[in-house]
Amino acid sequence: MARRSARYAANRKFRRYCLLADLARALGVTVAELVHPDPPSPRVRRELEFEGLQANPAYQRLGLPVLQPSKLAEPVLDHLLALGRQVVNEARGASGPAQARAANAALRDEMRARDNYFADIEEVATRSLAAAGYSGSGPVSERVLTDLAAHFGFRVERVQGIPRSVRSIAEVRNRVIYVPQRNDLRTRAARSVVLQTLGHFALDHTRTDDFEAYIRQRIESNYFAAAVLAPEQPAVELLEAGKARHDISVEDLKEVFYISYEMAGHRFTNLVTRHLGIPVHFVRTDPEGTILKAYENDGIRFPADIEGGIEGQRVPRQWPERQAWESSDSFALHYQHTVIEGEEYWSVTYLETESPAAAITVGTTEEHARWFRGRETLRRITARPSAADPSLIARWDGVAWPSASERSFVLAALPPAERPFSPYPGVDLLDIYRFLDRRERQS
């Protein structure tokens, strides 16, 4: 049997070689030239490049008819190549840092104008909870979450091997939401991830390759998850009771509704201005004070670039986001009064020490600090504007040569992978497809 299989394989290889030889003779080239991976001439290389450009989604969005490059004169082909490269390069740039900053700034302005309260999403979350049997008070149970997923036609599976570039995968053919297993994603985080994924379906999102629409969908799905896990009515009742005692605390939202401090901070900003009339700010930074996300409607001015972008800017050393890491009780909540450009703010900072480490700050104006737990803190710091000491520069200019740490936002400037084109920034669709193939073979 083995010898017969070997002869069969040898015969197949021989027939393939004969076919290649016949093709080479018909084309007037050698077999080696026929199978060589490089294009046989500069002209063919340009024709292949133009075919690839025409297949690019950015080029196809122009709605132009497909041209056969082999029929184009040299000057015409070169002209179209230059135009096609420009179209694709501009599309890549549109998903880069400049577009991201512009999209984030526009959405932040919109959120500020509506006090970060989305009535339509609150309504969808309330209806969804009612359909899943939520009692209307207290934390949302695991049974309610399971029934909520079923309400939208999904089941949830915890599995190994989910690509690191995604938080979950919704497979719509078999209606399964895959999330990492418990040793990779803890229960509290998994609850929010499942609901963030369901939010896209609850809010009728559609696939988009527009960057601002993509960011908006992320914001809306995150809002939906928070509105389900900390439902509006009981959350507002908790905040109102805290205000009556002059003891409002984001920590209470975190513990009562079993959500992360970051989600509790976001949920706090959704509700506290709308229902309690208190202006607030929220900011998440890395341990070096670099802003990762932020929101404000209390007048605080975050560091910004000349275009108004705040992501990637570093807050001053005196701000609570950096002071919390230097505090002797850095693992406790860090309360601080901070004078910024003549205005005083009160804030509380929570440190996430697990990777990736971050500081999460929620604050308000000094006028409204009286409603909050921790207002009695004696920490009061005046933030000084950055000012360079000329003598310091003179001593060290040209002498110091620091080696910068690798930062994820540097990689954000790289163009996205094109095959297959991914409308999801930072996500390798090939990894996703391979994962789904493995799951389908195992089921």
Domain ranges (residues) in the chain: 20-94, 396-442
Nearest to 348, CA basis, from 281, 396, 438, 274:
281
Mean pLDDT across the chain, nearest whole number?
82
Q: Is residue 362's pLDDT more than 60?
A: yes
Are 211 and 95 in contact by the 8 Å Cβ rule? The answer is yes
Q: What is the pLDDT of residues 151-189, one digit of tens each?
A: 999 999 988 888 877 888 989 889 999 988 766 556 777
Query: Would strands 155-159 and 281-285 be described as parallel, antiparallel, or unpaired?
Result: unpaired
- The arithmetic mean of pLDDT across residues 314-328, rounded, is 90
- The arithmetic mean of pLDDT across residues 311-339, rounded, is 88
Residue 405: CB partners within 8 Å, gap ≥ 6?
none
C-alpha span between 167 and 183 (Å, rounded): 14
pTM greater than the 0.75 cutoff: no
pLDDT at residue 213, as a whole number: 86
pLDDT at residue 308, as a whole number: 76
Q: Is residue 295's pLDDT more than 90?
A: yes
Out of 111-115, 228-232, 292-296, 390-394, least confident range: 390-394
pLDDT at residue 64, as a whole number: 86
pLDDT at residue 422, as a whole number: 53
Q: Is residue 84's pLDDT more than 70?
A: yes
The confidence band for 51, taking pLDDT boundaries of 50, 70 and 90, is confident
Q: What is the pLDDT of residues 7-45, one digit of tens each?
A: 544 455 545 656 767 777 777 777 666 555 556 678 888
pLDDT at residue 395, as a whole number: 66
C-alpha span between 35 and 417 (Å, rounded): 27
The first and second tokens of residue 275, run together, are 């229902």
pLDDT at residue 323, as a whole number: 94
C-alpha span between 341 and 343 (Å, rounded): 6
Are 333 and 251 in contact by the 8 Å Cβ rule? The answer is yes
Residue 322: CB partners within 8 Å, gap ≥ 6?
285, 288, 289, 315, 316, 359
Are 337 and 366 in contact by the 8 Å Cβ rule? The answer is yes
Task: Please give the share of the chain, as a percent, with pLDDT higher than 70.
Answer: 78
